[in-house]
Chains A and B, each alone.
Chain A
Amino acid sequence: MNGTDVKRSVAPVTPGVRLGQVSFVWRPWLVCVTLLLAAATFLVFCLSIGVGDFPIGLSRVIATIVGGGERVDKFVIMDLRMPRALAGLVVGIALGVSGALTQSIARNPLASPDILGITGGAGAVSVFLVTVSGGTAAAVVSAVGLSTAALAGGLGTGLLVYFLAWRRGIDGFRLILIGISVSAMMEAITTWLLVTADIKDVARAQAWLVGSLDNRSWSEVRVALWCTLVLLAVVCCVAFQFKPMHLGDEVAAGLGVRYGMVRAVLLLCAVLLAAVGVSAAGPVPFVALVAPQVAMRLARCPTPPMVASGMVGALLLTGADLVARTALPITLPVGVVTAAIGGPFLVYLLVRANLR
């Protein structure tokens, strides 16, 4: 009996679509929601580019993005505003997808990449570099930049969690508990550094810890963009194998999925996506936690949908950045605004679902 026969024996309840090896459940509502989210994200993205000291109309923004436009517009948009807006888009997608992967693998809606230690590790490293004034720390920051050092810290901690949780394979529950404990340690170190540091440094460290999109350059964004694209491609290839895993390890194995391998690859992608997000915008919290849950409820899916989660993440971050820049009397880091929008929106969706 080969794999195809096994698959055919469990006919999906909802009509399926099959293209050779690839098959998926056709959910018109999910597709609609995803397209609407994408459209909304694009709109906010263009608005965000247009708003500023030199306002540019929506039609001119779109004309410039697709290649036309006047020279002045081209300069303002492509050189000054595009990196920041694009960073918001890329980081949002990366964090949203990362969150969807983590929550699916752990089968726990409270799971987010933060739990895998990435935020905690990145935070501890960067707070260390900001608060410990000394030759080595300053040298590290000037040599590689704070965000790269934070990326290394986050990635290192993420991999540490992964290897600590490895015991003849990766078990979702064990991974989360290990992740929680390693994150708790990293946060304790951060707290201790903040307690002992000078108050001026504390303010700088605190601002970094919340995440920000200020002063992004093309070089930083380009790296994040390419990394995200490659990782998303990997996720796309592997994710089709992943669907049956919601049914549990035994069922997935019975359906012929090499679940250990698939889960390891997807988990690694989740860690790397979150790390890319952290390197580009700092540890913007909550997007990875909230976006999949919001996407799941908007799309009425039983599990977090990958593409829609990425779109919600991008919309949340881009929108929050727009609000942070324009609507508020004081400038706040974007992480504060994502939380202020995302948290209540999640609660609203929960209450609405209960009332229906």
Chain B
Amino acid sequence: MSTTAMERPLAGGTTKARRRRVVGLGTLVAILVIAAAVSLAVGARALSPAEVWHGLFAAPDSDQRLTEIRLIVRTVRMPRTVLAIVAGIALGVGGALIQGYTRNPIADTGLLGVNSGASFAVVSVIAVFGVADPFQYVWFAFLGAAGSGVVVFGLASIGRGAGNPLTLALAGQGITVFLTAMTTAVALSDRASLNALRFWNAGSVAGVGFDVIWPVALFIAVGLVLALTTLPALNLLNLGDDVARGLGVNIALSRTVGIAAITLLAGAATAACGPIAFLGLMVAHVARYLTGPDHRWLVPYAGLLGAVVLLLCDIVGRLVVRPGELDAGVVVALLGAPFFAALVWLGKFKSA
């Protein structure tokens, strides 16, 4: 790659630091695997590791009890676990990217308007067509999220200051503000949408099947590929537009690709789970603390951290208010926020 020489100072240089980062990445993967296993075992009916194994891999047989376990693991726990991982990765990577592209350490994936666009689409569809089935409004949510993302980015790229990070952040806020108001207006005049909105807003990884998860995962995969291709350019963009241009970065192109990636990631995750606030913002800061400013490390760390946190929060949500459940989005804020605040207080974070 032609930019290697320029990236060396950012990467921290020494092989020791690199080895530490690789070990960290491996540790995160290991934690994720363990958390996924726990997620399959924990719930209204606790399963032993052997039972989980059987439920996943054994061929169907006549035993009534084992068939039941198979059903629980494959149709309830498995989709939930996969969605938590996929959505967690998407939100984590999205959070790290949007903070990088806006150069604003308090930017969150919701900033592009994707959450508010999705919410607005959901309440509108319910109010106008009376759709009540979550399986149907997932697609409208995705359309809404993508639509508002495109509008925000489009508005921020008109004219001279095209793609200016500050303009992007403020345009995102302006559109978010507007769409949230419209959502409230619809919800207040239509009780069915208000009812759906309050559940949708909590952000949950439960209750969605693989028929929804696979297409969502496909969008997220495309988003991840786009995200990975922009990382070297993003590093250079953070040195300032002029420096980046001087080093041969096509600024407009790399911003467009980056924003498209964020829209796909956050939009797809929001469509499947509802808006899960704070997760992307939090893990982006933790990842930056662990890896330093090099986005080629920061972004994968943020993705894995996002998956781990969302998965653990979903597990906790299943355990604390039994026989009921706390939505993962609520647990993320209730558990993640104090943890994050403690790290902030200890002075672990620098502004991006």
A270 within 8 A of B: no
B155 within 8 A of A: yes
- Minimum CB–CB distance from B187 to chain A (whole Å) comes to 7
| A111 x B106 contact (CB < 8 A) | yes
Interface magnitude class on chain B: 35 or more
| A343 x B278 contact (CB < 8 A) | no
The number of chain A residues with a CB under 8 A from chain B is: 57
B344 within 8 A of A: yes
| A351 x B195 contact (CB < 8 A) | no
Closest residue of chain B to A173 (Cβ to Cβ) is B351
Task: Specify which of A177, A199, A336, A337 is in contact with B340 (CB 8 Å cutoff).
Answer: A177
| Main secondary structure on B side of the interface with A | helix
Task: Specify which of A192, A206, A342, A353 is in contact with B202 (CB 8 Å cutoff).
Answer: A192
| B347 x A167 contact (CB < 8 A) | yes
B277 within 8 A of A: yes
Closest residue of chain A to B204 (Cβ to Cβ) is A195
| B202 x A191 contact (CB < 8 A) | yes
Closest residue of chain A to B161 (Cβ to Cβ) is A354
Given A178-B344, A199-B191, A354-B167; A210-B177 close (CB under 8 Å)? no
| A350 x B337 contact (CB < 8 A) | no
Closest residue of chain A to B108 (Cβ to Cβ) is A180
The CA of A192 and the CA of B329, in the complex, are separated in Å by: 10
A63 within 8 A of B: no
Most buried by B among A180, A182, A338: A180
| B156 x A185 contact (CB < 8 A) | no
| A177 x B344 contact (CB < 8 A) | yes
| A195 x B170 contact (CB < 8 A) | no
Task: Specify which of A178, A199, A330, A346 is in contact with B341 (CB 8 Å cutoff).
Answer: A178
Type the 1/0 row for B206-234, where 1 means its CB is closer than 8 Å to any CB of A: 00000000000000000000000000000
The CA of A182 and the CA of B337, in the complex, are separated in Å by: 6
The CA of A351 and the CA of B153, in the complex, are separated in Å by: 11
B146 within 8 A of A: no
| B181 x A335 contact (CB < 8 A) | yes
Most buried by A among B175, B181, B182, B198: B181
A94 within 8 A of B: no
Closest residue of chain A to B102 (Cβ to Cβ) is A110
B290 within 8 A of A: no
| A181 x B161 contact (CB < 8 A) | no
Task: Specify which of B171, B188, B332, B334 is in contact with A189 (CB 8 Å cutoff).
Answer: B334
| B171 x A350 contact (CB < 8 A) | yes
The CA of A99 and the CA of B195, in the complex, are separated in Å by: 32
Given A336-B184, A343-B176, A350-B156; A177-B349 close (CB under 8 Å)? yes
| B177 x A289 contact (CB < 8 A) | yes
16 contacts between A and B (CB under 8 A): A108-B104, A177-B285, A178-B345, A181-B278, A181-B338, A181-B341, A182-B341, A185-B337, A332-B185, A333-B188, A336-B185, A339-B180, A347-B170, A354-B160, A354-B161, A355-B160
Residues of B whose CB lies within 8 Å of any CB of A are 104-107, 111, 155-156, 158-162, 164, 166-167, 169-171, 173-178, 180-182, 184-185, 187-189, 191, 194-195, 198-199, 201-202, 277-278, 281-282, 285, 326-327, 329-334, 336-338, 340-341, 344-345, 347, 349, 351
